[in-house]
Structure 1
């Protein structure tokens, strides 16, 4: 019966791939639309002035307070998927995990559209929990779909991630425009509407997927365990967690989460969970330092119990994970300090010829990709309307809504004599540049010019740092009240994206290549922990933009993210011979 359903599933195709891939494409697209549409507003909203009775009234927080809350939120987004993946694998299956996660996120967005601090906190909590269920299991469904067709998997993931970037692009553009031109809660509300519609679109598509993504049966669990045992490297001996390992992991988890929650609580609510000092260290700093020491102890003690080849390859993954912290610490300024920089320090006012040129470019950026994606929707509808009519009807509603909002936005801008570009518009550049350059970069990796992993990492860090160097140069010597040309921010996002294309896709690929099959879930967890730490550091340091600018200069602030990644990039490139040796032939 399962074989018949899989065969039916692969009978309906769009652009050479199963129609189910494009259902996932649009589910992910609407989720990313909502996620990035909300994210691009958060720091701006929190730090905007309080204006009683105005739809543009923010909370009036300083950058440090806003960074503390956003940093903890961003950190938790990379930790909860570890648990969501485990729950789906063992109990509820991937499809139900995606639906549950999407529904919880819908409630979160709805909560954030309401007035009141408590609704914002509830909304962020729901987004963290919902993402934990949603994020890991979309890719798990995709992997299960293509497990018998590995040769098509790379192409499928490329299409899937185009959906990620398309959603981010339109979410930041349209939610940001509504929030900044009509009112904050319109932007937050729009994110929630499309999260709900995306959930319905996925739920009604059940007939297309058959049994794919259903909870695993006892026989399937047994078969997976048997396959994992048979594929085990003969040189790889089991290394179960000891009771000491488990206790120390529990302690470091409590300390780490305590630090994550205490940071915003102490800076915003004057509630300190670590209200003590140990020598020169504040309680919060001592707690995270102790957690780091315990983490290193557990990692090192476990590494000593592996065979040499496995141990060396895991050390290589840990080194890569360490350097990825520096990348995300800098790259994720796009969600914090660069939002404040774009709002307060960039000249965004246009009129006359410059406004006309911008409107033409913006119209092209909006209409062309939307037309292409609409064409894909039409092809998908043609293939699947008879099998899943409701999912296609919901999809039509989504696109009618998107076209309506986009055309309304363009009409408003074309009929205005002068206009101020929204702060959120600059954030769409990352997604646009990914779509524009991803295929070119991937062709380089497939050619004779393909560099070793350590060199890709180093290049990613250095190229991304050049973007911050341009911002440091562009803002050098400017006086208070003088604003920077927007060209510097546009160029910065270009280099940030090129750096991301060098480094980001490589990481998870090497984890899967270097780590034994039975350890992949654990090491993916460690990898996401590194990204979580990078996100938290990004928000902490980004929250200092006002203090550093006041004490030194805006240029000095951007030099931090120029010098540190360049040094890290040079070091990781220098480690290339060592990394090759540790990887034992894995390329």
Structure 2
């Protein structure tokens, strides 16, 4: 056992090493920043100029939103590669955090140059940050695999805590005080998170300091036939370059062409315009590349990778619908949901909101105190930055709650509904964890299927709730209950689907192919996110021609249909997996 891990495991904070909670709070502030900014982006873009926004159409705003959310799933592929080969995990995290802090703070200046450059910096910074936090945990627990599940559970609680607080506070400040203050708050906490990580990083010993070099003893001396080398050919590499360039140009051109009226792809191939031709060519080349590489393997490995591709394909449909949370569902909350509460209803909401905010924040503050007991003497500066961030958070929370209690009428912020996903995850994750460990644990295909079906049911509640809304009118507003139910079913769907994805990539794919298939997986999520923006942008058109109910029915029927197809395919997928569960 390395001295690094010996030192790391000497400390104890509620049953885990203190270093894990350094990562916990770093990730928490990064997610605070990401989800806080994300909660505001579409609202800011679509708000009238007289109210401080840019007055964009929903279609244009969601085109930019889709491009941003898709790109943040593509850059980690490159960021992980750079960290592995050149700079190490820790410097990658620090560099990524600095870039993201600058990006979010620049967005606080509101001007077009700063908004666009800020989003670009967030995409780049996320590429360095996102993959390397989990890599540090994996290496810290390399010699303690039995503790790894618990460590990642703690870590992902930090993810949800950050998302919860970021959406609530940045959303509230942005909508009630000023957009620049909301964006600025996200940037400040990203900076504080980086500083607390930087000044406590010695707690990790040598892990993540330098690029990972292959150790001879870690490499199999005998290569099994199913893990045989399958190097990329020159044709493979050429196709990858073409796909990357074509896909990137298409993703960037979508919002650019809608907003500016110009196009980077101003040509046509017969009756097909340049934009459609470019993305169709890229997708066809991607299918060719995946199929050609899979066909080079033995039957068992080939079958298993086909199973991964099937899951990846349905992943696109899940995220295309799920990511409406930051797009069309936010627009529904802003324009079509009755958020004005008076009298006892306002009081009941304020009491609920107080408990919803103070109890989780109190628990996290208690964890912070436990961390201080273990690390303050050795990492005082890191703890000062962390403590300062919590003092600011508590100050904002107390001000926000007192401000709402002083009113006889309250208007719930449109961004507030976004916190429900994190709240429901925290509430229901233990139950789902018990089910997955019991004899009732379903197959991967059935988990995926139920994830899609529950997602569809969530949109079904919105479709039903929107039935009374007249196209083009925002006077008639519906109860908040429909959005709350939608977020509940969406979260239950996410909890069904989340155990399957990346775990099956690691189980089913041979080591020589795993980096490529992880890339394919993140590409599927990126396509889903971009599709979410494109489809969400049709909300006004579909509502005007048909109804808002029709719009949400699309997101009801497609996921449910996908879930039913997966249930039918379950025997085939189990056969393709050759015994892997």
- TM-score of the superposition, structure 2-length normalised? 0.98
Q: Secondary structure at 1:207's aligned position in 2? A: helix
CA contact (8 A) 2:226 2:297 kept: no
1:14 aligns with 2:6: no
Q: Secondary structure at 2:478's aligned position in 1? A: coil
Deviations for 1:387-427, whole angstroms, at most 9, x for unmatched residues? 21111111110110100000100001111110110001100
Q: Secondary structure at 2:428's aligned position in 1? A: helix
**1:531, 1:233 → 2: CA distance?**
31
Deviation at 1:232, TM superposition (A): 4.7
Residue in structure 1 matching 2:523, options 529, 536, 540:
529
Residue in structure 2 matching 1:129, options 121, 124, 136:
124
Deviations for 1:12-31, whole angstroms, at most 9, x for unmatched residues? 11111111000000000000
Partner of 1:235: 226
Q: Would the alpha carbon gap of residues 85 and 188 (structure 1) be closer, same or farther in structure 2, given more than 3 Å must change?
A: same
Deviation at 1:299, TM superposition (A): 1.2
Partner of 2:469: 478
Deviation at 1:517, TM superposition (A): 2.0
1:314-333 map, 5 Å: 314-333=305-324
Q: Which is further off, 201-210 or 104-113? A: 201-210
Partner of 1:147: 142
Q: Secondary structure at 1:59's aligned position in 2? A: coil
Give the gaps of 5 or more residues in structure 1: none
1:237-316 map, 5 Å: 237-316=228-307
1:5 aligns with 2:4: yes
CA RMSD of aligned residues (A): 1.1
Deviation at 1:5, TM superposition (A): 3.4
**2:78, 2:273 → 1: CA distance?**
31
Q: Secondary structure at 1:419's aligned position in 2? A: strand
Partner of 2:354: 363
Residue in structure 1 matching 2:369, options 352, 365, 378:
378
**1:29, 1:339 → 2: CA distance?**
23
**2:450, 2:558 → 1: CA distance?**
14
CA contact (8 A) 1:228 1:517 kept: no
1:460 aligns with 2:460: no
**2:319, 2:143 → 1: CA distance?**
35
Residue in structure 2 matching 1:556, options 546, 550, 553:
550
Q: Would the alpha carbon gap of residues 232 and 113 (structure 1) be closer, same or farther in structure 2, given more than 3 Å must change?
A: farther
Q: Would the alpha carbon gap of residues 408 and 227 (structure 1) be closer, same or farther in structure 2, given more than 3 Å must change?
A: same
Q: Secondary structure at 2:49's aligned position in 1? A: coil
Q: Which is further off, 275-284 or 463-472? A: 275-284
**2:426, 2:256 → 1: CA distance?**
39
1:581 aligns with 2:572: no
Deviations for 1:312-344, whole angstroms, at most 9, x for unmatched residues? 111110000000100000000001101111000
1:547 aligns with 2:545: no
**1:327, 1:368 → 2: CA distance?**
32
**1:385, 1:531 → 2: CA distance?**
40
CA contact (8 A) 2:37 2:186 kept: yes
Deviations for 1:426-447, whole angstroms, at most 9, x for unmatched residues? 0000000001001111110100
Partner of 1:76: 71
**1:531, 1:515 → 2: CA distance?**
18
Partner of 1:203: 198
Partner of 1:390: 381
Number of aligned residue pairs: give it: 578
1:185 aligns with 2:176: no
Partner of 2:80: 85
Q: Secondary structure at 2:349's aligned position in 1? A: helix
Give the gaps of 5 or more residues in structure 2: none
